[in-house]
Structure 1
Amino acid sequence: MFFGTYTPKLDDKGRLFLPAKFRDELAEGLVVTRGQERCLTVWSLADFSRMTDRLREAPVTNKATRDYVRMLFAAASQEVPDKQGRIGIPATLRDYASLTRDVMVIGAMNRVEIWDPQSWATYSEEQEQKFAELSDEVFPGI
């Protein structure tokens, strides 16, 4: 499980040091691709495979399925962390998420998200009140 917020930097070659707490779970490899809200999503190979299996079951005749699959897989990059725990972030994905040197890396349960710091700050601020309100909807009766 991934949780926490970290502030690593991209190096000059577009590589990112994964937070140490995430490295064991991603050591065998990972997939980085577009996420929602213009962030990047990092999946372990096992979780990406499970998601792929579910998408295979979706009807290809459904336009929303085709659109989603195209956007997800066209940008996907399979990576294996090097001995220092770095992964490459392809230029197209860095551009998509407006990543420069500073980044925010957040744990989001079964995935890792990589954000531009300003985008994350804006999103976080906008969601703060909703977060408080959603607890009753997400966890009714607790």
Structure 2
Amino acid sequence: MFMGEFHHTIDTKNRLIVPAKFREALGTEFVLTRGMDNCIFGYPLSEWEQLEEKLKQLPLAKKDARAFVRFFYSAAVQCTPDKQGRIMIPQVLSTHASLEKECVLIGVSNRIEIWSQEKWASFSEEAEENFDDIAENMLDFDF
């Protein structure tokens, strides 16, 4: 399980340090891809394989399903951290997430997310302001 918030800087070669706590759970190889809300999702291979099985079940005849799968897979990349715990973020992903310098890595249950500091601050502020409403709406999901 992934949880917590870590702040790191992406260097000029698009390398980013993955916190040791996350590296342990991600394993020696993991997958990054486009995430929702303009962040990057990172999955351990075991989680990626489970997600892949679910995506294979989406109906090919549905336009939205095809579009989602294309968008999700087209930017997916397998990563292996170097000896310093850094990963190379491909340009397509760093552009998608607007990564420039300051980044935030967060743990979200079965995945990590990589955010630009600016986008994470904006998201966090809005979520905090609306937390009571969000929590109340979670009742719709039998939470």
Q: Which residue of 1 aligns with 2:124?
A: 124
Quick check: 35-44 or 80-89, which moved more? 80-89
1:43 maps to which residue? 43
- Give the drift of 1:73: 0.4
Length-normalised TM-score, structure 1: 0.92
- Is the 8 Å Cα contact of residues 42 and 111 (structure 1) preserved in structure 2? yes
Gaps of 5+ in 2: none
Cα deviation, residue 12, structure 1? 2.2
C-alpha displacement of 1:11: 1.9
**Greater CA deviation, 64-73 or 4-13?**
4-13
Which whole-Å CA distance do the structure 2 matches of 1:96 and 1:106 have between them? 17
Cα displacement string for residues 84-109 of structure 1 (whole angstroms, at most 9, x for unaligned residues): 21111001111111101210111111
> What SS does the corresponding residue of 1:132 show, helix, strand or coil?
helix
1:123-142 to 2 correspondence within 5 Å?
A: 123-138=123-138
Deviation at 1:110, TM superposition (A): 0.9
Q: How far apart are residue 139 of structure 1 and its match?
A: 5.2
How many residues matched? 142
CA contact (8 A) 1:27 1:81 kept: no
SS at match of 2:13: coil
- SS of 2:10's equivalent? coil
Give the equivalent residue in structure 2 for 1:6.
6
Distance 2:55 2:91 in 1: 26
Poorly superposed stretches of 4+, deviation over 4 Å = 139-142
Between Structure 1 and Structure 2, which shows a larger proportion of strand residues? 2
Quote the offset at 1:132 in angstroms: 2.2
Amino acid aligned to 1:96: H
Task: Report 1:93-132 matches (<5 A).
Answer: 93-132=93-132
Cα RMSD of the aligned pairs, angstroms, is 1.7
Residues 21-72 of structure 1 deviation map (CA, whole Å, 9 limit, x = unaligned):
1111112311111111111111111111100100111111111110100000
SS in 2 for 1:32: strand
